Amino acid sequence: MLKRLLNKQTLNLGVYGIGQAFNLITPLLVIPYIVGICGEDGYGKTAVGMALSFFLMVFIDYGSDIVGVKSVSVSRDDPKKLSQIFATTYLAKFFTLSLVLIAASLMFLFIPFFSVEKRLFFLGLPVLLGQCVNPTWFLQGVENFKWITILTIISKTIYVVGVFLMISNPEDYIYNNLVWGIGMIVAHLIVVGYLFTQYPIRFSDANRHDVKTLLRSNFSIFSSQIFVSLQMYAPTMLISFFGGNALTGQFKIVDQIVVIFKTYILLFFNFVFPRICYLLEIDKHQGLLFWKRYNGANFAFIALSMVAIFIFATPIVSYFNPKGIGEIVFLLRIAVAIPLLQAVTVPLKQLMLGWDKQKEYVRYTMIITIVSLLAIVLAIPFFHVQGLLCVLIATEILSSALFFASVKSNFFLRG
């Protein structure tokens, strides 16, 4: 059985990998162009806007990227249940979107840090609408990776074309996040239309009570995702606040290189998570064996990639055409430790969630995030980007230790 599943997953991974390779390469095509026209300062501003949008996405998803995927995965053979999950989740997402748009608009108008660049932030709101429509969570649950690939290619093609058409002067950086959002909206609407042709989905299969129940039941995992999102995106906003947009641009150039692998790790999580949940549900030993094989191979790939980046850091940084190449090369060689550690932390997170250890996961994530953000605030004024990177490395080490302590009693299961 496991051999058959591995063969199927290998085929799916090939299809999924095409789209995600496209997804990861896209920034490499546009960032040198944006930095060349808008400078590190302008690129830093777009990074702050995108970081805020990505953080607000958590409120719109409200745990559907984890709980929704798992629910669809275990109910994949029940069309009526799938329709109910789909309709309830989308109604909840439309509700949270409306609240987020109101809160974000007020924030952009009245908080000085945001109002200075309010045009940039308002033009980034389509990213939130695109995330509301995003059906990737459902496609992951039914393991339809072909359409995830189609969605990714459409979205990123629109983004690349939009950047080259709309950014031609230094002040045009404000349009970067707008074209990203337009690409999301168009691609996601196309795929939602496809889903309506393949499944008997009806919004009448959900009601107000279902939505309230979902919002209550998902609150715990949603709370933890807020802290995860803060870990990922608050550093960009904090370094902008304490160090200015030029330092933010430096950090984002380094981050954009390693984020290719950080994103790959998270996408790999999304790829294998539904299958791991399914296997752990029916056979813990088979599920754990599947987890070890896939994540072991993945760790080896990440380790080799980080060694290559460390060795070739200078030509890699030069590609982005920044001013301070030597400083950024030094920072990049520190940052390669982050994806390597995440290749341990994220798989352990899979086991925690697959074994229904949500309470422990939420508690650990809250503690880790609070400690991490406090350390970042203290480190940036004195050590700038170098201090920020060291805190992020320490955060991953702490996360790995706590997650492993939670699952170690089941980690060495025997058949």
pLDDT in tens, 114-163: 898 999 999 999 999 999 999 999 998 888 888 888 888 999 999 999 99
**What proportion of the chain, given as a percentage, has pLDDT over 90?**
33
pLDDT value of residue 415 = 46
Distance CA 380, CA 238 (A): 8
- In this predicted model, what pLDDT tens digit does every residue of 2-26 receive, in sequence order? 445 445 555 556 666 677 677 778 8
Contact 38, 110 (CB under 8 A): no
- In this predicted model, what pLDDT tens digit does every residue of 176-203 receive, in sequence order? 999 999 999 999 999 999 999 988 888 8
**What proportion of the chain, given as a percentage, has pLDDT over 70?**
93
Distance CA 146, CA 236 (A): 33
pLDDT value of residue 203 = 84
The mean pLDDT value of the chain amounts to 85
Q: Average pLDDT in the 56-83 region?
A: 86
Query: Is pLDDT larger for residue 267 or for residue 216?
Result: 216
**Phi-psi domain of 414 (left: phi exceeds 0; alpha: psi -120 through 50; beta: other):** beta
pTM of the model: 0.74
Distance CA 266, CA 263 (A): 5
Amino acid 400 reads S
Residue 105 has pLDDT above 90, yes or no: yes
- In this predicted model, what pLDDT tens digit does every residue of 338-379 receive, in sequence order? 999 998 998 888 788 777 777 888 788 888 888 998 999 899
Distance CA 268, CA 279 (A): 17
Report CA-CA distances (Å) from 365 to 176, 224, 351: 31, 6, 15
Distance CA 339, CA 337 (A): 6
